Amino acid sequence: MRFSDEFEARFAEMVPHYPTKRSALVPTLLYAQDEVGFLSDEVIQELAGRLDLTELEVRNVISYYSMLTTKPRGKFNVQVCTNISCLVRGGEEILHHCAKKLGVGHKGTTADGLFSLEEVECIGACSWAPAAQVNYDFHENLTTEKIDKVLDEYRKKATQ
Amino acid sequence: MADLVSHPDEVKVVTRRFGKGATNIDRYLELDGYKAVQKALGMEADAIINEVKNSGLRGRGGAGFSTGMKWSFVPKQSAKPKYVLCNGDESEPGTCKDRLIFEHDPHAVIEGVTIGGLAVGARSGYIYIRGEYRYLSIIMQKAIRDAYAKGFLGRNIFGSGRDFDIYWHGGAGAYEVGEESALMESLEGKRGIPRIRPPFPAVVGLWGGPTVINNAETLASVPHIVLGGAEWYAKLGPPKNGGTRLFCLSGNIAKPGVYELPMGYSLKKMIYEVGGGIPNGRELKAVVPGGSSTPCLTADEIDINMDFDSVAKAGSMLGSGGVVVLDDAQCIVKFALRTMQFYQHESCGWCIPCREGTDWLKKTLMRFHSGGGVKKDIDNMQYLSENMLGRTFCPLGDAAAMPTIAFVKKFRKEFEDHLEGRPCPYEKEGAIEQLPVLAH
């Protein structure tokens, strides 16, 4: 299993920061997921080996964290917040609009593998609600027109 | 990048460098950066703790415990290394203030963690940032690298002969990890399951060593206290509630945003003057004063001061500073349901009252919202919530129960309006079927 040089540099830097190896697990899983797209059996096996854990221990941790996934998803993961601050400013409308536009529901992926949709809990954009994240990018003060533009931009990005 | 707002009533302490390019370490130095930590290096540990104690600084994460007191609980002698842990797992719905601190003033957090370390005799600290805040992790990691490059971190900081290391750590999506013992579990590479207390983290924390855990805003306030003095800071707020607070105004309000106001600022003024009131000709229905865990206040209850003690006296909590405003077009049953869906989703399942309670409450609220509620369930929800209180390892169970009790008690009529097949009076016709079903 090969990761990028950037991942390896980060991993090598991070592990000595902790008195126990496994402490590096959670951020490492997220970095690995960013590269591979999801936490595949191969990734789990590799990281378990590196951090002196069993694969089961790694899976046990993965299942706790909502950002970690063992299933592939779209290149762009559209995460729409519908928690309280977004709810009262139309978060659900944004979610339904995305679902309709992309033709997928919660945790669904478009047939071309470009987009996934997810209804998420508070992302810390309450004062700029309604908000969504596409992968790690925040998109705030959303309207249905604005999210249309956002999704179109990503679609364009993918074809470039 | 989140927009900044301002209002003449603001007292800029923690936010004073916002929008001034202070992520750049040289710019930060021009803006009095790293002066506090140098001053602290010349102080006795107890003097730093006393200064923070006397400042009246209380935990900005939500619990509002005296920061100086917390620091004083760390034993002087310890066979195991001591740690400072900055809690940047901001995820209480309604709260978006630590995000701005990391974005605009990351070095203030570094200074705060270092000063905390000097006060309790720790030699290293961790800054834990939630996984969703990737761009802030990048900012924070750069700030840490820059501080090392200047000799402000690492061996012999500022030529003082003292060593102090700070490391970044990232989460991967979990509300419960914002609870201090779950935060430590997560940092140790495990599921964020809470630990039983005692022993408290100040005695047995990270990897068994004494650990001070403070919210990012709390730690970012510390350098200002060290520089400006406890007396100055304490006087910014009412007695026992020193300083300022970042209030995150959100919801049905004309000018949402994060405002730094003195502790004890009037909630009414916050909504109608700072926040510009309720837009679209609507009236105020309710306010959630300190993040989703705090019991709501009705429109008649907002004539209070926003400090820990005054809000507690009014039957709620100042919490994390997330002020969520609801206008009269909002359905309380739906709001209660969305709140409970969140807690049910985030409950780790370790404690049965929380795991089962949040699930039952969610199901009951769903039934109400779809018009299938039965009258006895109104009292049942309250009874169930009351029986969750204080029966869990971490406060997530309480956080789910407390707002529910307030919704039921204060808006009973709205629940009654949803009984026996009556559709939600706030929804457009046919909208109920479209309610999203959250995954678990």
Confirm if B365 and B412 have CB atoms less than 8 A apart.
Answer: no
Which one has a higher pLDDT value, B438 or B385?
A: B385
Share of chain A above pLDDT 70, in %: 100
Q: How far is CA A29 from the centre of its chain?
A: 12
Q: How confident is the model at residue B418 (pLDDT cuts 50, 70, 90)?
A: confident
Mean pLDDT, chain B, whole residue set: 95
How many independent structural domains does chain A possess? 2
Q: Tell whether A50 and A80 lie within a shared domain.
A: no
pLDDT digits (tens, 9 = 90+) for B281-303: 999 999 999 999 999 999 999 99
Q: How far is A120 from chain B (nearest CA, A)?
A: 9
Q: How far is B229 from chain A (nearest CA, A)?
A: 32
Asked if B208 is an interface residue toward chain A (Cβ–Cβ < 8 A), one would say no
Pairs of CB atoms within 8 A across A/B: 167
Domain containing B320 — which CATH number?
3.10.20.600
Structure tokens given for B21? 């390019």
Q: Tell whether B248 and B216 lie within a shared domain.
A: no
What distance in Å separates the CA atoms of residue B245 and residue B160, rounded to the nearest whole number? 33
Q: Tell whether B89 and B154 lie within a shared domain.
A: yes
pLDDT digits (tens, 9 = 90+) for B219-234: 999 999 999 999 999 9
Q: How far is CA B176 from the centre of its chain?
A: 12
Confirm if A119 and A104 have CB atoms less than 8 A apart.
Answer: no
Q: Tell whether A18 and A80 lie within a shared domain.
A: no
Residue B204's domain spans which residues?
25-235
Closest partner CB to B172 (pick from A67, A89, A140): A67
Length of chain A: 160
Whether B187 has a pLDDT exceeding 60, the answer reads yes
Sign of the four-CA dihedral B33, B37, B42, B46: positive
Residue B76 counted as domain residue:
yes
Decide the pairing of beta strands B211-215 and B165-170: unpaired
The label of the residue with tokens 């559209």 reads A78
Q: Tell whether B318 and B397 lie within a shared domain.
A: no
Closest partner CB to A124 (pick from B95, B191, B439): B95
- Residue B404 has what pLDDT? 98
Collapse the DSSP code of B415 into the 3-class scheme (helix H, G, I; strand E, B; otherwise coil) and give the result: helix
Decide the pairing of beta strands A132-134 and A76-81: antiparallel
Residue B6 counted as domain residue:
no
- Residue B1 has what pLDDT? 63
Q: How confident is the model at residue B438 (pLDDT cuts 50, 70, 90)?
A: very low
pTM metric for this prediction: 0.96
Residue B204 counted as domain residue:
yes
What distance in Å separates the CA atoms of residue B246 and residue B98, rounded to the nearest whole number? 9
CA distances from B140 to A114, B151, B222 (A): 30, 17, 18
- What DSSP designation does A52 have? T
Edge-first strand listing for the sheet containing A132-134:
A115-120, A76-81, A132-134, A137-139
